[in-house]
């Protein structure tokens, strides 16, 4: 699996990181590598990198943890992130190299399998999200829904007409104007509904997956995107029922909706000498700076009441 995007922050110069020599438990320089599947990259971005952990121009505050009765203070002056189409190969490599653990973790967008749970552990249960197919409100698909096979066919670009998906043609015409969430760089888009990362011929990529076009009343647009984006457009669009049900906040939060998925941070169970560094990094991810970054990006955090969600 090829890596599409790598985020390697420049090392922060020693002069910026210098702290008083008299400080207790002298801070240690640390590195950490994070893997981000492209389906959730828009919610994570640069949050796990040095630029976000220790912002330039602000006082560098070491992250303090206590592990095995000993106090540690770390400065992550080389925290990097890699974005890939999926987590599969990275998980396999992590398990394969488990005898020699390194400071690394994966923002996983699915549950761990039974086999994976033998070696890997969810260190932080972060958020929930779901794949959604969105159309303009009052579109025939809102009532008719589509099968799971049809949703995948639409997302993959193999079904190009609403009638072929079992939906009456809307007033704007039978042709489907497919929009996939992603930047479209090198025709790369978020994998959703089992459709791959390659933008289908004739489709267009959009950061919101086409939500703004669907919300404007364009009845041809089929927006393949995320619930975290779509939920704020519910007054002008609808999430098409797929396989008999449409997502709701409740079904996404509980993961009872079939297309919902958890977002968690996963590491090896046995970390050996890197336990203190791992503990410090997870503390950062659960802390206020990372939490605020995730919120600004629209992540539906498990620990939050989501915007507009009943109390």
Cβ burial of 110 (10 Å; 0-12, 13-18, 19+) is middle
Please give the Cα distance from 223 to 180 (Å, whole number): 6
Joined together, the tokens standing for residue 208 give 């919101």
Q: In whole angstroms, how far apart are CA 161 and each of 51, 148, 168?
A: 45, 16, 10
Share of the chain above pLDDT 70, in %: 92
Joined together, the tokens standing for residue 17 give 């990181």
Pick from 132, 130, 76, 82: which is nearest to 107 by CA? 82
Is CATH 3.40.50.970 the right assignment for the domain spanning 130-246? no
Please give the Cα distance from 33 to 267 (Å, whole number): 11
pLDDT band at 237 (very low <50, low <70, confident <90, very high): very high
pTM exceeding 0.75:
yes
Domain map of the chain by residue range?
A: 5-129+260-301, 130-246
Give me the pLDDT at residue 183, please. Answer: 87
Q: Using an 8 Å Cβ cutoff, are 261 and 86 in contact?
A: no
Give me the pLDDT at residue 185, please. Answer: 85
Give residue-wise pLDDT tens across range 33-73. 999 999 999 999 999 999 999 999 999 999 999 999 999 99
Q: Using an 8 Å Cβ cutoff, are 213 and 223 in contact?
A: yes
Give residue-wise pLDDT tens across range 242-296. 999 999 999 999 999 999 999 999 999 999 999 999 999 999 999 999 999 999 9
> What's the CATH number for 5-129+260-301?
3.40.190.10
Residue linked to tokens 């489709």: 203
| Mean of all residue pLDDT scores within the chain | 92
Same fold, 5-129+260-301 and 130-246: yes
| C-alpha gyration radius of the chain | 21
């Amino acid at each position: 699996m090829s890596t599409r995007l790598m985020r390697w922050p420049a090392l922060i110069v020693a002069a910026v990181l210098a702290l008083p020599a008299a400080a207790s438990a002298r801070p240690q320089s640390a590195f950490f590598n994070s893997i981000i599947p492209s389906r959730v990259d828009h919610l994570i971005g640069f949050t796990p990198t040095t630029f976000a952990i220790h912002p330039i121009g602000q006082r560098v505050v070491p992250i303090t943890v206590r592990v095995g009765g000993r106090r540690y203070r770390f400065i992550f002056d080389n925290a990097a992130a890699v974005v890939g189409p999926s987590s599969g190969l990275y998980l396999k490599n992590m398990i394969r190299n488990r005898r020699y653990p390194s400071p690394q973790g994966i923002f996983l967008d699915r549950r761990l399998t039974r086999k994976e749970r033998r070696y890997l552990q969810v260190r932080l249960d972060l958020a929930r999200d779901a794949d959604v197919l969105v159309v303009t409100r009052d579109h025939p698909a809102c009532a008719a829904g589509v099968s799971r096979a049809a949703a995948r066919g639409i997302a993959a670009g193999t079904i190009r007409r609403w009638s072929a998906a079992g939906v009456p043609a809307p007033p704007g015409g039978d042709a489907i104007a497919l929009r996939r969430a992603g930047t479209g760089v090198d025709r790369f888009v978020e994998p959703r509904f089992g459709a791959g990362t390659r933008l289908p011929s004739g489709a267009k990529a959009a950061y919101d997956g086409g939500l703004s076009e669907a919300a404007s009343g364009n009845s041809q647009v089929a927006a393949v995107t995320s619930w975290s984006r779509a939920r704020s457009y519910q007054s002008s669009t609808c999430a098409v029922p797929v396989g008999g049900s449409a997502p709701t906040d409740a079904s996404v939060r509980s993961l009872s909706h079939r297309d919902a998925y958890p977002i968690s941070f996963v590491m090896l169970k046995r970390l050996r000498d890197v336990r203190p560094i791992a503990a410090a990094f997870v503390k950062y991810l659960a802390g206020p700076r990372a939490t605020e970054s995730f919120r600004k990006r629209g992540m539906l955090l498990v620990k939050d009441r989501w915007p507009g969600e009943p109390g």
